Structure 1
């Protein structure tokens, strides 16, 4: 099924002839899949969810900067229909390619000028960056405040902030590791994601959506880098964590089972005994941490 794409036009966003617009929005399910005739930087300020872009579904996580060129279809979706659970809040900085001409007249760095030309000509593809030190988040906060409360020199100040954002984004992309090392980093990030979401259902399908790798490729990565299939790695990770909880906390065994992602206590007991060679109670007692 091919979904229709709505086009958002510049005239609905740019007022008084100044081709830049900034807002802070709580994403819902009401905004349609869309493209636009302007350039956009989006910054995930709070919460999490999903970003549908160019036919793919990617995780939207706090601290991400996403560059969205003209004509690229996309839409953000929160993780839940209930905004009280986890709202997805995104800053949007929209600007016309003609604003880049003004910025090019200020810039002098060859790499930045080349980047501006690629962006202006529509030859720069969408990309996502991680805001490691909150520098990008602070820039968006300044952009939003200045746009929302205009004062003398606001337009020039907004141009200066946008130019600063473009420089920061260029530096982050230039400092990115090689494709080979980036793949290892991404796999490490995926393992960290599994650790932090251990209590939730973790399937290859879910990890494929998060990592943007296919399920088959993920299976190969687990065999290559973890020396075991995905399901055995997941079980080992959960049992390893349950051993830590048995040694260092007074939590009941049923609570520990749920904490590490087992909804069925019988499945947990069976998996633990197969992995540790004894029951959770016996393990706790042998570790000297029997608190019952």
Structure 2
């Protein structure tokens, strides 16, 4: 039996049906083999460590990450035995066509997948970003609505079904606004990464951290770090240390300042920390480099 045809809808036509909501810790013993869903799923990462593979993309999960994918999409979740993932899942349809199917069969491994069990496939004409899987990092503002839906589903109060459907519609609208803003913000984010680098170079005398830089630019540290990595391929903390190490190398060659004074000038109170990251970058400690310079001058 073939799968149901794709429904073409506008966002205003959506009348979602929440099938169930989970707030669970994933069993690390369960295999990470690829599967496919029969309905639609939103997943919010509450904590833990692991990876989510969706089609050919791999995402390293962190708290606050949010994912969406629909039926017939290949995915796999790889758990970490020492720090299992805790997630909230919302399984749903965009329409009420299959509201009598409260529970779907568990997502099967690929050889057991049956396309005729798919509840629906939807194409949204005015919200095309919902027509493919998406990932929103550091989406902490969505934790509360997920928790509210998980609690509503758990309690099963009077009219819980319609209440959940209304909550999901509001959540979908909020998510689409975030997605649209993310798409529009691409060039601005490139400019922001450049501004962050300029700020770091202009403030090497300060004890810069991800938290202090994020506060300066009014972003959450995790979100700012991911944005920075996306545009520089270097974690923010590593960029700060590398830039300070490069400046220290320049000062060792161009000044006669003691190593302790160079460390202080670059915002370090702990000389051992300064020496450790300098040696990590250049393969030699700053004191050894300075001693070699002095020996060379004496032999001249």
TM-score by length of 1: 0.55
Q: Quote the residue 1:199 is aligned against.
A: none
Q: Aligned-pair distance for 1:262? A: 5.7
Q: Quote the residue 1:243 is aligned against.
A: 263
Greater radius of gyration (CA): 2
Q: Quote the residue 2:157 is aligned against.
A: 151
Provide the C-alpha distance between the structure 1 equivalents of 2:131 and 2:164, rounded to a whole number of angstroms. Answer: 22
Q: Aligned-pair distance for 1:185? A: 5.2
Q: Quote the residue 1:137 is aligned against.
A: 143
Higher relative contact order (CA 8 A, sep 6+): 2
Q: Quote the residue 2:104 is aligned against.
A: none
Question: Secondary structure at the residue paired with 1:90?
Answer: strand
Q: Check 1:74–1:278 CA distance in 2 against 1; reply closer, same or farther (3 A cut).
A: farther
Q: Aligned-pair distance for 1:24? A: 1.8
Report Cα offsets for 1:226-258 as digits up to 9, x if no partner.
xxxxx9986334566993698553x352x5445
- Note if contact 2:18-2:165 (Cα within 8 Å) is conserved in structure 1: no
Q: Check 1:69–1:239 CA distance in 2 against 1; reply closer, same or farther (3 A cut).
A: same
Provide the C-alpha distance between the structure 1 equivalents of 2:240 and 2:268, rounded to a whole number of angstroms. Answer: 23
Provide the C-alpha distance between the structure 2 equivalents of 1:43 and 1:118, rounded to a whole number of angstroms. Answer: 26
The partner residue of 2:176 within 146, 159, 170 is: 170
Report Cα offsets for 1:116-153 as digits up to 9, x if no partner.
73599997111122455x43110000111111221111
TM-score by length of 2: 0.54
Identify which range, 24-33 or 153-162, moves more after superposition: 24-33
RMSD between superposed Cα atoms in Å:
4.9
Q: Check 1:248–1:180 CA distance in 2 against 1; reply closer, same or farther (3 A cut).
A: closer
Question: Secondary structure at the residue paired with 2:68?
Answer: strand
Question: Secondary structure at the residue paired with 2:158?
Answer: coil
Q: Which runs of 5 or more structure 1 residues have no equivalent in the other structure?
A: 1-17, 103-114, 197-206, 220-230, 280-292
Q: Quote the residue 1:56 is aligned against.
A: 57
Provide the C-alpha distance between the structure 2 equivalents of 1:247 and 1:164, rounded to a whole number of angstroms. Answer: 47
Q: Quote the residue 2:95 is aligned against.
A: 98
Q: Quote the residue 1:125 is aligned against.
A: 132
Provide the C-alpha distance between the structure 2 equivalents of 1:74 and 1:47, rounded to a whole number of angstroms. Answer: 19
Q: Which runs of 5 or more structure 2 residues have no equivalent in the other structure?
A: 1-16, 100-121, 201-208, 211-224, 249-261, 293-300
Q: Quote the residue 1:25 is aligned against.
A: 24
- Note if contact 2:22-2:89 (Cα within 8 Å) is conserved in structure 1: yes
